[in-house]
Structure formats: C-alpha cells, structure tokens
Amino acid sequence: MVNVLFVCLGNICRSPMAEAVFRHLVEKENLTDKIHVDSAGTASWHEGKPPYEGTRKKLTELNITYGGMTARQLKEEDFTTFDYIIPMDDQNVKDIESSFATDSKDGVVIRKLMNFVPNPQEMNVPDPYYTGDFDYTYELVEEASTRLLKYIINKHNLKG
C-alpha cells in the first residue's frame, strides 16, 4: 500500500481538496486497494471541522465526494505511516521541517504538490481561504494530482 498525505496550514481548504481530488483519481484508476489518501494541517486551529464551505461547494459542483473528512493536525506518526507527504506551499514545507525531528522524516518523500508539474504556472498552491478563488485552486490541484498519481503509478509499478 502506498500512503499519500496532503498538507496545508489549517486542513480545511487546499489539503482536503487535494485529498478528495486525488482519491477520486485513484478510484477512477481502480487503485483504492493500492493507494491510501489522507490530509492534515500544520496548525491545529480547525481540528475536527469539515472542509471549508468554498472547498465543499467546488467539490460538490464536480461530483467529487468529501464525506467524513475532518481537519486534523500533522503528527510525528505521519512520518512513519505515509510514503509521501505533499505540502501545498513553501511555508508548509518550512513548518514541517522546523516542527519535526529530521530522523523521523527518513525515507518519506516530502515534495510540494506543484513540484510534480513541469513548468508550473505557480510554485505554490494559493490558499483560497485568503484569495477566495476556489476554481483556480482546484485547477492547480487537479493538474498536479493527476501528475502525482502518474508518478506514483510508474514509480511503484501499480496497475488498476
């Protein structure tokens, strides 16, 4: 099983959107028995809350399910549970690096989501909580998630 964790600041906008989109793509490829997906935030402000209204609206519009998802904070155990930890922006990467022991990250791939897109139009996924642009965030997340899934399928020789 390949375990993928998406990370943003509060785990209510970008990372749950990425979790839902990536899970949707995994289901379309018939790989749910081979890839596990989750999301977390670097901060604990929204723990236990569902995805933000704008994220829910965008996912509902696209018939992408998000039921049962609630915000949680990134924890030390995630570095032994997950093979891939995918932050949304540079600040998330800095927060991960400064908050967790270096040795706990051994063997875990920590790469920003947009790093999977060749020549991306953005290096960071903008936070729609502040920008209000959930459509643009979705476009970036969908493109990068598609490429991340392709990368994982190839690297782990997975077939649906």
Q: Which residue numbers are catalytic?
A: 8, 14, 127
**Tokens 């139009």 appear where?**
121
How many CA within 13 A on the CB side of residue 36?
7
Long-range contacts made by residues 94-101, C-beta under 8 angstroms, separation at least 24? Answer: 95/9, 95/42, 96/7, 96/42, 99/42, 99/74, 100/74, 100/76, 101/76
10 close to 40: Cβ distance less than 8 angstroms: no
- The CA distance from 153 to 116, in Å, is 13
For 44, phi and psi rounded to 5 degrees? Answer: -100, 5
Residue 86's beta-bridge partner residues?
A: 6
